[in-house]
Amino acid sequence: MPITNVTKITGQILPNNAKISYDAMDMIQQGATKYINFVTRKAKEQCQSEYRKIMNAEDLLWAMKKLGFNDYVEPLTAFVQRYRNIEGSDLFTSHKEPIPHIENNEPRPNPMPTLEILHSPVPPPVHSSKPYFSIDTSHRELIPHTENNGPSLGLEPNHMPTFEMTPLSPSVHPFESYFSIDPDTNLEILDPNDINEIYLDEFGVGCSNDAFNNVDVSALFKHDQP
Amino acid sequence: MDHQGHSQNPSMGVVGSGAQLAYGSNPYQPGQITGPPGSVVTSVGTIQSTGQPAGAQLGQHQLAYQHIHQQQQHQLQQQLQQFWSSQYQEIEKVTDFKNHSLPLARIKKIMKADEDVRMISAEAPVIFARACEMFILELTLRSWNHTEENKRRTLQKNDIAAAITRTDIFDFLVDIVPREDLKDEVLASIPRGTMPVAGPADALPYCYMPPQHPSQVGAAGVIMGKPVMDPNMYAQQ
């Protein structure tokens, strides 16, 4: 038992002008230790008689009464009751600890908006990419038409050089002009009926040299206008 | 405090007369042990010289001493009652059980010094802290009572020894009381025991008076050495 604690306690009951020798303080200190051993030994008998392994407050109070410290029992009984009441309030305080966990749940909604943000940027690039694919398809369709010109030229081997030179130049210009003007116009040109008509006109004009030169130009314009 | 001061003053004076009485009884005791005839002859001489006044003085001393002792015991009982009453009231006001006057870990170690004590509830050291505080306060109060009896302001070992000897519930503390203090306490208790035996003691010396006349003078010399007896002897002579 620390001597400082014993000194403070003795100071509570002695007059201000009182003094206490070191030997006396030492004796009181030893007495307190022996008191604990004395009461503990008696309390142990109570525990063993009831086959209990844990020594509690009741055992100590019982021992004090048996050993003649009757004056101590009543104040200490009140002391134990107050101690347990306050200890109960401590348990209530422990219940408050789960509250922080509830606060931790609040951050959880935050990930949800993040997921929404992830979804939002996805649609725009998908939509923007579609028009490019459609344009590429239109370019591929033009190629088959040029292939169709092959067999028609093969039918007239004698006039081949003249036909080959003339129709290529005017045919190319109109296509380019149409592309530059409107995409819808390209669709009209792509119609197989229109293309066939152009080729037939060319065959008819081939009958006379003079008429061919003049008629070719006018005929082309006429078909284009309507 | 004022009342206590007033009560102390008369008790101081009375204690003085009580001391005289104690010293008066002392020569009887050592006389019986060492040179009873000598001391007896001396006392007989004083009685013969003053007769009734001497007897009256002795009676008064005895009564005064008993009265003082009873008064002190009564005062102690009152102080103890106030102490326990205040303890109960203080406990009703206790709200903080975390600041103890004594360390719980130390108390737990002392409890576990007994090998059979293995498991202790959390309450036990807390209760013991309060109980030990009461024990220390009661022991200090009873010891201080003895200090005041001897007109001292410093509480000493013999005061604690006296408190332990006088209180039944403190018997388990006899081990820590030095033998010297025990002897002092025993000797202190003898004079009170010899008071009622004063009569027969007076009767005995008559038988021993004639044969040991020479040694009586030596014993008287020893008695003369005591300072308290000097004024009495001179006054009587």
Residues B183-192 have pLDDT tens digits of 565 555 544 3
Of A13, A27, A55, nearest to B117 by CB-CB distance is A55
Which of residues 22 through 81 in chain A touch B, CB cutoff 8 A? 23-24, 27-28, 30-41, 44, 48, 53-57, 59-61, 64, 67-69, 71-72, 74-76, 78-80
B86-118 pLDDT, tens per residue? Answer: 887 777 666 666 667 788 897 988 998 887 886
Of A148, A77, A156, residue with least CA distance to B127:
A77
The reported pLDDT for the residue numbered B84 is 84
Give chain B's domains with CATH numbers.
96-182 (1.10.20.10)
A142-168 pLDDT, tens per residue? Answer: 444 444 444 444 444 444 444 444 444
The total number of residues shown for chain B amounts to 237
List CB contacts (< 8 A) between B135 and chain A. 31-32, 35, 69, 72
The reported pLDDT for the residue numbered A175 is 46
Helix, strand, or coil here: B119? strand
Average pLDDT over chain B, rounded to whole?
63
Closest-CA residue of A relative to B144 is A14
pLDDT confidence bin for B129, thresholds 50/70/90: very high
Higher-confidence position of B55 and B189? B55
Say how far apart CA A116 and CA A8 lie, in whole Å: 69
Higher-confidence position of B220 and A219? A219
As a dihedral over the C-alpha atoms of residue A215, residue A217, residue A218, residue A222, rounded to 10 degrees, the angle is 130
Q: Does the beta carbon of A90 lie under 8 angstroms from any beta carbon of chain B?
A: no
Give the type of residue at B192.
R
Say how far apart CA A111 and CA A105 lie, in whole Å: 12
Say how far apart CA A38 and CA A40 lie, in whole Å: 6
Residues forming beta bridges with residue B120, ordered by sequence position? A55
Sign of the four-CA dihedral A90, A92, A93, A94? positive
Say how far apart CA B137 and CA B144 lie, in whole Å: 10
Tokens, residue A211:
């008429």
Residues forming beta bridges with residue A55, ordered by sequence position? B120
Tokens, residue B203:
């009767």
CB B25 within 8 A of CB B201: no
Which of residues 105 through 134 in chain B touch A, CB cutoff 8 A? 106-107, 110-111, 113-114, 116-121, 123-124, 126-128, 130-134
In the predicted model, is pLDDT for residue B78 greater than 50? Answer: yes
Percent of chain A surpassing pLDDT 90: 12
Say how far apart CA B105 and CA A14 lie, in whole Å: 27
Closest-CA distance of chain B to residue A101, Å: 28
In the predicted model, is pLDDT for residue B31 greater than 70? Answer: no
